[in-house]
Chain A
Amino acid sequence: MTALDHIVDAAHVSRVFPMPAGPVTAVADVSLRITPGDHVAIRGPSGCGKSTLLHMLGCVETPSSGTLLFQGQDVATLSDRRRSLLRLRQIGFVFQRFFLLPMLTAAENVELPQSEAGAPRADRRQRTKELLDYVGLSARADHRPSELSGGEMQRVAIARALANRPGLLLADEPTGELDRATGEQIAALLDRVNADGTALVIVTHDAALAERSTRVLTMRDGRIETESRS
């Protein structure tokens, strides 16, 4: 398998934040590869560096040291604009608090990243319809986020994350704001996304959600302590 076969190839990456009381190492010497179809969960106690690692995998942050290649490109050498384009076209993000835009309908939220990527209007409409159908919210296309339940909002957020057909979907505590039953539905939806070919990396405290992954990384003090595969 060559470097280009990996979506992400992180080698000895660290992330250090300068603080008034001295530098804080959030991620220390982590090496990790994500390949197409992977279903990875990252677990660990609060403050262990899970979200920082996820943000580095998603090209939101660059490593302080080490090398992180995204589809063979060294992320640290890319301009802010190139990294934005990379995220827009290759990476989907799902957030704990959904971050849907409240003034837009569900369909408009899903259409937004496609519009930013320059997709033609007809294609955007078609893709949005497909995605809302995929997440089971066709009937709620014209509803605003304030008119949706937490689970419905997260499903719209997943549809939005998939809008530009990314190869990698990153989810930060996607069930963190949901009750158990709704969280289960979201987990099942994410499984389906992964099964349909999108690599998935989930940061979660939820053991049940982590168990659904084929690789579970446990972090402590910025390092990957254990990795289990199923």
Chain B
Amino acid sequence: MNALGFAWRSLVRQPARAALGVLGVAAVGALLFDMLLLSQGLVVSMRGLLDRSGFDLRVTATDALPGQGPRIPDGVTKADAISRVPSVRSAIALRFARAAVDVDALRDRSAAVQGISGNGTRPWTIIRGRDLSAGAEIVINETTARASGVEPGGRLVLRASCSEDVAAPPPMTFTVSGIASFPFDTATAVTIATSIDMLAAACGTGATRDADVIMVASQDDPGTNAAAADIQELVPDLRVLTNTEAVRRFENGGFTYFRQISAVLTTITVSFAVLLITVLLTVSVNQRLGEIAALRALGFSRWRVVADVLCESSLIVGTGGLLSLPLGGLLALELDRILKRIPDIPADVHFFVFDPSAVRIHLLLLMATAVIAALYPIRVVARLPIASTLRAEIIG
């Protein structure tokens, strides 16, 4: 009987103790798995969201987030120029504004309005109706459509504001051409998009061509980085940001809190698992000192009795670890649902995102747990004095 089989029989011998260990590891492992998912979840989710938006480059006036810094002067002209760069597939200028929607259900809610230039790739997906064409048309998100009861072909009256410096303009009536899904919408966001010229008209700012951001889709060949370099050369006074750089900026900004919290909780859960298994194994070994000493007297090597303990630890942690994956998955779904109630979180962003690397790290941490937890009981059996233990067992 090899060490693994021997360890299995030792565990089966005391099913309650084994079950306690396995369930303890499963619970701790589930928490550990969730912490690992949380540590990268927002970043992975945000990267997916950016990649799905259809644009891989963002051009802004400064390093500030779009809409939070100064605008790009004559951004529409610059977007046109960028769209003609050979490594660029399409480029659009976007301008952000707020608007009041003249509907009872939306009276106390401010709508986010996007004004877009050109006919390139859109930062939204049409669900019903059609996209913008010429004239005073808008696309609205599902929340706006539900609240206003307006469908494609219907009309909405907006009172837009592009700048605090400009006096409130008169309301303007728009025709809803379609219902669209906006990737960065929160669950309750009221979002509207129109052409940048119509937005300027609604704001009463005249034919302004400034933009908050220029969204760029690069050609597959030569790719994102080459397009970024070309654009930077064309507009050296602007900032060009790839999706990867944007994610890195997120990581270095607010998302580090999640990683730090996750690191602290991971350390605590792993420590708890180590203590739990160490205690269980040590109790088990202490109950069997006489048997272990007898085996050594019968010629079992020190390595063999050490391997027995290591295998026992691995079996407990391995079984508990396997159980922890589905358990952690279910827990992550519930925790994600709770965390997504935080205001202003885009509906498509998740805090817990399945990532194969999290499973790999989870398994590595559990393997380390099995080994570290076994160190003390291994020390006990490896240094067990055979003769005096046998004597003590007889006297005892």
Q: Chain B residue with minimal CB distance to A56?
A: B387
Q: Identify A115's interface contact among B1, B303, B387, CB under 8 A.
A: B1
Whether A113 and B394, one on each chain, are in contact in the complex, defined by CB atoms closer than 8 angstroms, is no
> Which residues on the A side are within 8 Å of B297 (C-beta)?
58, 60, 87, 93, 95
Give residues in A with beta carbon < 8 Å to B: 51-52, 55, 58, 60-61, 80-81, 84-89, 91-93, 95-97, 99, 101-104, 108, 111-113, 115-117, 160-161, 164, 172-173
> Which residues on the A side are within 8 Å of B9 (C-beta)?
103-104
What is the count of residue pairs linking A and B with beta-carbon distances less than 8 angstroms?
82
Q: Any chain A CB within 8 A of the CB of B304?
A: yes
> Which residues on the B side are within 8 Å of A91 (C-beta)?
299
Q: Chain B residue with minimal CB distance to A17?
A: B388
Q: Name the residue among A86, A95, A161 with the largest chain B CB count within 10 angstroms.
A: A95
**Contact indicator per residue, chain B 285-315, by CB within 8 Å of chain A (1) or not (0):** 0000011011111111111100000000000
Q: Chain A residue with minimal CB distance to B2?
A: A115
Q: Chain A residue with minimal CB distance to B296?
A: A84
Whether A97 and B298, one on each chain, are in contact in the complex, defined by CB atoms closer than 8 angstroms, is no
CB distance from A202 to the nearest CB of B (A): 15
> Which residues on the A side are within 8 Å of B300 (C-beta)?
84, 88, 113, 116
Known: A95-B294, A97-B290, A104-B9. A87 touches B299 (CB 8 A): yes
16 A-B contact pairs sorted by A residue (CB < 8 Å): A60-B386, A61-B387, A80-B301, A81-B302, A84-B299, A87-B298, A87-B299, A88-B300, A93-B297, A95-B297, A97-B290, A97-B394, A99-B293, A104-B1, A113-B299, A173-B394
Known: A60-B386, A103-B12, A116-B304. A88 touches B298 (CB 8 A): yes
Whether A81 and B301, one on each chain, are in contact in the complex, defined by CB atoms closer than 8 angstroms, is yes
Q: Any chain A CB within 8 A of the CB of B360?
A: no
CB distance from A99 to the nearest CB of B (A): 3
Whether A108 and B1, one on each chain, are in contact in the complex, defined by CB atoms closer than 8 angstroms, is yes
Q: Any chain A CB within 8 A of the CB of B10?
A: yes
Q: Any chain A CB within 8 A of the CB of B393?
A: yes
| Known A93-B294, A104-B1, A173-B394; 6 more pairs at CB < 8 Å | A84-B300, A84-B302, A85-B299, A99-B291, A104-B9, A172-B394
Q: Chain B residue with minimal CB distance to A108?
A: B1
Q: Any chain A CB within 8 A of the CB of B379?
A: no
Bound state CA distance, A95 and B296, in angstroms? 13
Q: Identify A60's interface contact among B2, B12, B387, CB under 8 A.
A: B387
